Structure 1
Amino acid sequence: MPLTSRWIYAFIVSCCCALLGYALYTQYFDGLHPCPLCITQRAFFVLTALVALTALIVHPQQKGRYLSAGLMVLFTSLGSAVAYRQVWLQGLPADQAPACGPSLEYMFANLPFGEAFSTLMIGDGNCAEIVWTLFGLSMPNWSLFAFIGLGLCAIASALPMVKR
């Protein structure tokens, strides 16, 4: 069976859903509460999945494949940046990690959007805490790898050699 852009879109949607499903599982069944940067990464996984799902349904021609790939690469790049920021925060010595900040709900309810967004991107002590690892890597490390892999898949979906 030849590799087609539709298979790649389905793969991206499946991966994003699996990653989001596991994140929700760890939140509601393992009791791991997501920090603001974790929630932001989830949002970029959702946006990537929505673009891939739309492309899967619409089945675009070459220009549409370029647009879809461009949007997915944009979202995976932004998600990678957020994940990298959290990995960096987790690598700081405990005395250099930023203090814990207000909750995400509080920030968006009580601060102007620009200030809430910039506070969100700075991260806080909750973002620097490592509460889960697999093979010695924290969840943001795995999230970073996933964003990079999904971005590469998005690029592959637009290659002319991949059938529509």
Structure 2
Amino acid sequence: MFESRGFNLFMAFVCYQLLVTAYYFQYVENMEPCPLCIFQRIGVLFVGIWFLIRGIHNPLAGSKWRPTYSILGLISAILGGIVSGKHVYLQNLPEGEVPACGPALDYLVEMLPVTEVISTVLAGDGECAKVSWSFMGISMPMWVLIFFVSVAGLMIWNLYRHYRPSKHIF
């Protein structure tokens, strides 16, 4: 079921909807995304791309492509989860420990090399510590973290199913 064409295309659609929702909050609700939010969007985009490619390709059982797509999806989910986890961590810091606000992402991209932009964004700033929206008491970055952890678990399950011994113990 978790490796079927329909499921993979559905998950690609879920990723698409997450991105549409993020842009809705940005352009309709006027909630400017912090740099960590933008990095999370990139993570969702990559997870969605792997689901879409896997859904279109629909490799047969036993194909070398099934675990390849699972590994690539797992890497994307882990990296996205790290960013989301850092964001959740910043949002839960006591007020006195929140770092000062830094420059905007577009300024960082213009002035710094890519590696420094990534390390600066991942360090976080005060802008990322604000909780401006929540649903059922859970902030947007926490929902995205739940998504990434779920996808990572699914990819690990797919890898386990692919590599498990074929002999049944029972």
Same fold (TM over 0.5): yes
Match of 1:54 in 2: 53
Write the deviation string for residues 77-97 of structure 1: whole angstroms up to 9, x where unpaired: 111111010110001111110
State the one-letter code of the partner of 2:70.
Answer: A
Counterparts of 1:68 and 1:12 in 2: how far apart (Å)?
Answer: 13
Structure 2, unpaired ranges of 5+:
164-170
CA shift, 1:116, in A, is 1.4
Which protein shows a greater Rg?
2
Q: TM-score, normalised by structure 2?
A: 0.88
Query: Aligned pairs, how many?
Result: 160
State the one-letter code of the partner of 1:15.
Answer: V
Q: Is 2:74 the partner of 1:66?
A: no
Q: Is 2:124 the partner of 1:123?
A: yes
Structure 1, unpaired ranges of 5+:
none
CA contact (8 A) 2:84 2:141 kept: yes
Q: Is 2:42 the partner of 1:43?
A: yes
Name which of structure 1's ranges 151-160 and 37-46 shifts more when overlaid on structure 2.
Answer: 151-160
Counterparts of 1:116 and 1:73 in 2: how far apart (Å)?
Answer: 24
CA shift, 1:160, in A, is 4.1
Q: What's the % identity of the aligned pairs?
A: 36
Match of 2:167 in 1: none
Q: TM-score, normalised by structure 1?
A: 0.91
Q: Is 2:14 the partner of 1:15?
A: yes
Write the deviation string for residues 101-127 of structure 1: whole angstroms up to 9, x where unpaired: 111110010112221111011111110
Counterparts of 1:88 and 1:138 in 2: how far apart (Å)?
Answer: 11
